[in-house]
């Protein structure tokens, strides 16, 4: 068993005083800044050099980066991700399932109508580009009129250049840092309505889904993973995941995006299963969905979602998700 010897090779965590960090960065000199979140940034990353010559990176948060001052007061820590719910200062809970959080939410912990418009802007940007682009970077491209850099090539021919430009401009208005500079909901609807060419399009056409035929409704031939999900056999699911070593997740490394981190789907999958074993299916579902967001073609994400939905009594949705996972896995094996 080489586990212990391998563990001894891992570097231990070190703790540094504020004075040591100041010395390493020349008093947090602006010349050592390597990354800023934005014009009114909640955090700044500095490069530094310790006395022993070791090069380090230091992320410095300002006070407003933690909007909830009670976050750690009771000594009951929680891992945080976009899919979890967070209590705000006004006592209400809001979903933080957003690619990029509205700036004012970081400052105040409150969600307003303008915050929702900002979130719509990130969604519109994702649809136009086919990927997550940090809003600040997108605004730089828009200001430089680099619209083509933003547009997903798969959308070419689906709408005119003028309509595409108008949608990009609309997204940029929604993503303004100052909430008062964003359009209201009525203005959004008016703009989008004027761009709509077809009033009635079947949902399966919009989503590029094939209509069900007699052959597509035949019972699925489930894999052992799928069977375990159907039976809600968490022990078997755990054994399958440990046996495969989450191999389908190979090659998906952590990426740093605009000062943040996109977590590997394995992290969400492991925590999802942990939630399920602790009878917390709603929380588990959030993590399973986040795993799919990070890796859309990962069968495990679909299987875990199906297990969560079965646990929540959402039979029809669970069956559909189970079918998706089975089809994706079959496609992978075929390739």
User: 240: which 2 tokens?
Assistant: 């399958």
Residue ending a domain, among 194, 229, 251, is: 194
Give the pLDDT confidence score for residue 8 in this predicted structure.
54
Span 165-211, pLDDT tens digits: 888 889 889 988 888 999 998 999 898 888 877 666 665 565 555 65
252, 329: one domain: yes
The Cα 199–Cα 187 span in angstroms is 19
CATH number at residue 141: 1.10.510.10
The Cα 328–Cα 301 span in angstroms is 11
227, 307: one domain: yes
Say whether pLDDT at 250 is over 70. Answer: no
Cβ contact 178:107 at 8 Å: no
Our count of domains for the chain comes to 3
User: 131: which 2 tokens?
Assistant: 């990927």
If 0-12 CB within 10 Å is exposed, 13-18 middle and 19+ buried, where does residue 307 land? buried
9 inside domain: no
CATH number at residue 35: 3.30.200.20
254, 326: one domain: yes
187, 276: one domain: no
232, 330: one domain: yes
95, 176: one domain: yes
31, 120: one domain: no
12 inside domain: no
142 inside domain: yes
211 inside domain: no
Q: Decide: helix, strand or coil at residue 123.
A: helix
Span 63-115, pLDDT tens digits: 555 555 555 555 554 544 444 444 444 444 444 444 467 778 777 777 788 88
224, 329: one domain: yes
94, 153: one domain: yes
What average pLDDT does the segment 311-327 reach?
A: 88
Q: Decide: helix, strand or coil at residue 222.
A: coil
The Cα 196–Cα 33 span in angstroms is 45
pTM exceeds 0.75 for this model: no
70 inside domain: no
What average pLDDT does the segment 37-46 reach?
A: 64
The Cα 172–Cα 143 span in angstroms is 9
80 inside domain: no
91, 186: one domain: yes
99, 181: one domain: yes
25, 105: one domain: no
Q: Which domain holds residue 289?
A: 220-334
């Amino acid at each position: 068993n080489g586990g212990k010897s391998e563990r001894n090779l891992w570097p231990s965590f070190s703790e540094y005083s504020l004075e040591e960090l100041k010395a390493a960065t020349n008093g947090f000199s602006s010349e050592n800044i390597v990354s800023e979140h934005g014009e009114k940034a909640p955090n700044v990353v500095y490069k530094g050099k310790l006395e022993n010559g070791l090069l380090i990176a230091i992320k410095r948060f300002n006070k407003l980066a933690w909007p909830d001052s009670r976050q750690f007061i009771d000594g009951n820590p929680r891992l945080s991700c976009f899919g979890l719910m967070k209590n705000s200062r006004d006592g209400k809970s809001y979903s933080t399932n957003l690619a990029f959080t509205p700036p004012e939410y970081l400052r105040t912990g409150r969600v307003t109508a303008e915050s929702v418009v900002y979130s719509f802007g990130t969604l519109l940007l994702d649809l136009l580009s086919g990927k997550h682009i940090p809003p600040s970077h997108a605004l730089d491209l828009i200001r430089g009129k680099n619209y083509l850099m933003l547009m997903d090539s798969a959308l070419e021919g689906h709408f005119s250049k003028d309509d595409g430009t108008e949608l990009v401009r609309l997204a940029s208005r929604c993503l303004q840092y100052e909430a008062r500079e964003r359009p209201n909901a009525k203005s959004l609807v008016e703009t989008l309505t004027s761009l709509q060419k077809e009033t009635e399009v079947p949902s399966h056409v919009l989503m590029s889904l094939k209509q069900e035929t007699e052959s597509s409704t035949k019972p699925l031939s489930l894999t052992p993973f799928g069977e375990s999900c159907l039976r809600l056999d968490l022990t078997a699911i755990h054994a399958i995941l440990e046996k495969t070593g989450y191999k389908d997740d190979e090659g998906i490394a952590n990426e740093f995006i605009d000062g943040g981190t996109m977590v590997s789907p394995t992290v969400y999958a492991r925590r999802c299963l942990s939630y399920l074993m602790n009878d917390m299916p709603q929380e588990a579902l959030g993590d399973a969905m986040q795993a799919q967001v990070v890796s859309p073609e990962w069968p495990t994400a679909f299987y875990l979602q199906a297990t969560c939905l079965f646990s929540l009594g959402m039979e029809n949705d669970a069956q559909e998700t189970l079918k998706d996972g089975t089809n994706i896995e079959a496609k992978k094996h075929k390739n």
